[in-house]
Amino acid sequence: MDGGKLGCWVFALAIALMVQTSLSQTETTTGPTNTTSTGGNGGGQGSGQGGSCVGGASDTADWGAWLRWRSGEILYAMNYTNATRPGDPNNRWIDVSVGVRLSNIGSLSESSMQFEMSIDLFLSWFDDRLAGMSSHMTPVPGRHLWNPVYAMGEKVDPLCSDEGCLTQSDDQISTWLCPDGNVHHIAKQDVKITCAMNLRFYPLDKQECTFEIHGYDSMRFVLNPSFQWVVPGVPVVTDATSIHSQFEVTQVDFQAKYNSFLSSVHHCSYHKGSYGYVTDACTKQCENYGGSKLSGAEDPCDDTNKGSPNTYTTLAITMYMKRRLSYYMMEIYVPSITIVCLSWVAFWINRAAVPARVALGITTVLTMITQSTRVVDMPQISYVRAIDAWLLACQCMVFGALLEYAIVNYYDRKHKPKTAAAAPTHPVKVVRLPNPPSEKGVINGSGEKGSMNGHTKPAEPPKKPKNPEDEGIAAIIDKAARILFPLSYIGFNIFYWVYYSVADQHH
């Protein structure tokens, strides 16, 4: 009995030594390995949605093996070619798991209607020919492997179109091979996106920008990323810390659909979703912000000829952005409100102070005109924007204040008495008579008393009283303006803000 147990132990030890020797030889021939966590399981072999890679807690990559992968020596020895697509050539589609990360979102220019952004694509697919070539997750030059064929849509332009920018060096590792044959690839591209803007509500506007990524050569987008993906179940994330724009992203929608080179064939969506963003309130994982799910659904999409060679797949991403109003409040709205209120000061200045009231009115009008020129350059459009309506109303208010004083001054001067006729050039001399000392003066030739010392006293012209009715109209206009102008401006503000808020939401 003891001899049997001893034999079993010897047999088990021999098996363990054989397994260890086999693993050591495999690791030596497969090249450098990377033990970084993949962030989740991307599916089994043949699923095209990635796969878990076996690895330890440390990086055991071998430089010599990496050089053999870099030269393609290992792949050539296995008769591998990147010109042939993996899997059964009779299958119409090759499922490619995709995740999109948006970052470095720049300012959206109103004149060019473009903004810059960086797009990171996380792609995973299954290549049965590579299964068993590595024991761990191994970095591999992507140029030696078959890669999905994809292209940006017509609204997306690369910032750098030189061949040197588009070609990635082998030293920049971006492709990894797993033991089960799953391949993971990360591609980054800086682009400029064209966005057709509607500026009717500027600067209270919300813009909607859509860009597309097309998959060719039987590539089908599967929105289920796993490799290096930190937000499970969310195929599109945004770096909330790198938004350098006057807009804030409020919502991101995505849609995977079958498309066709024939314009008569209607596209069919097979996966769509929507996520709401509150980037200003982000407190954790802000570099990979996924938002809160609003909706999401998968559709088998059987109403199109998915087997036709004219069919390809498209991933459309729509960004909803809302303009930040703080800059325009401090630069446009608050200064213009101050100028309008300053023009009302003239209603409390004395009507006789013509220079003061005229100078104040002209100054506010010119200042308001200058304020109107501070709006940024815009394309030539044929409709009125919200900022145009605001500035026009403010200009009308300050010009109306100046016109009000013109009317008041007219009524104030309308019946003002003219200057009396000049006194006679030859005053009448007072004749000295031997009057008693008690007499204060004598009667001159005109019947008026004169002074005793021979001086004359000019005749005073008769005063014509002002028309109290005209003087009352001028005062009434001033008093009415003190109430009507502020009330009308307050009413305009209520209408302006309510209308554009409701109309923008409806739009």
Domains and CATH numbers, the chain: 30-322 (2.70.170.10), 327-417+466-506 (1.20.58.390)
Give the model's pLDDT for residue 62: 67
Around Cβ 34, how many Cβ atoms within 10 Å? 17
Give the model's pLDDT for residue 405: 93
Tens-digit pLDDT profile for residues 116-135: 999 999 999 999 998 888 87
How far apart are the C-alpha atoms of 402 and 442, rounded to whole Å? 57
How far apart are the C-alpha atoms of 205 and 504, rounded to whole Å? 7
Torsion 356-358-361-363 (CA) sign: negative
Confidence of residue 60 (pLDDT cuts 50, 70, 90): low
Q: What is the mean pLDDT of residues 265-275?
A: 88
Q: Considering the entire predicted model, what is its pTM?
A: 0.73
Amino acid code (one letter) for 207: Q
Asked if 126 contacts 45 with a C-beta cutoff of 8 angstroms, the reply is yes
Decide: helix, strand or coil at residue 118. Answer: strand
Give the model's pLDDT for residue 305: 67
Around Cβ 326, how many Cβ atoms within 10 Å? 8
Tens-digit pLDDT profile for residues 405-445: 999 999 888 756 554 444 455 554 555 555 555 444 444 44
Q: What is the mean pLDDT of residues 349-369?
A: 92
